[in-house]
Structure 1
Amino acid sequence: MSRVQARLRPAAREDVLSEVRYYRREAGVVVAQRLRDVIQAALEQLEQQPSIGSPNLGATLQVQGLRTWRLDGFPLSIWYFPRGDHLDVVRLVGHRQDAYAVQLLLESDP
């Protein structure tokens, strides 16, 4: 499969901004920058290999095609759908968040 481009939905963009702001406030600029770098590296890896994310949560939530990818060093996962011509990034989710509640948000976000 050739490289595809990641497209972040508005909710995913807001998730990223919110998490970076949180880490900047709580842990400092260096940690916040590291989070941005880790997110960017993860997206680049997913763009090259869209099918490497886990389908387990999608199966559990009965959301066909949903995959997740854990970020290195942070308790966060990227939730996305491989769409063939692009990577549809729907959320950046904290591991302590309620997956079923986030699923409801997924269903309401086009």
Structure 2
Amino acid sequence: MKTTVLPSARADILKQIGYFIDLGLDPVADRFLAAVRMAIDHVSNTPHAGSPRPMKNRRLLGLRTWSIGGFDEIKLYYLVTDDELVIVRVLHGCRDIKGILEV
């Protein structure tokens, strides 16, 4: 299955890495990036494992979530089609998830 990481998700990942680096937590930033890669690999291999999330935005019908290992408050938000997995966002649970996704 083809996996696509949208620019919005890439920006989320880079922002989180930058946050850790700004705090002087470079090893945590490295661990986070590795954990994101592992999570993406996991959902690419088992795309329906993530929890479905009800959405009003019709473009996001079928949106699923998967926690980043070791960073359980940060989740992948992704869509699955017959031949593609699309990583839409990577967001911390303290953020306004509905407000961000329902735009």
The TM tier, using the shorter chain, reads 0.7 to 0.9
- Residue 7 of structure 1: aligned partner: 4
CA distance in 1, matches of 2:24, 2:50: 28
Shift of 1:104: 2.7
CA distance in 2, matches of 1:83, 1:13: 20
Matched, 1:79 2:71: no
SS of residue in 1 equivalent to 2:23: helix
Sequence identity of aligned pairs in percent?
27
The structure in which a higher percent of residues are strand is 2
Q: Spell out, residue by residue over 1:44-83, the C-alpha distance to the aligned partner (whole angstroms, 9 max, x if none).
A: 001100000000xx22x34420000011221200000011
**Structure 2 gap segments, 5+ residues each:** none
CA distance in 2, matches of 1:29, 1:5: 31
What pairs up with 1:83-102 in 2 under 5 angstroms? 83-102=81-100
SS of residue in 2 equivalent to 1:42: helix
- Residue 50 of structure 1: aligned partner: 47
Cα distance, 1:69–1:12 mapped onto 2, change above 3 Å = same
Root mean square deviation of aligned Cα: 1.3
- Residue 19 of structure 1: aligned partner: 16
Q: TM-score, normalised by structure 1?
A: 0.83
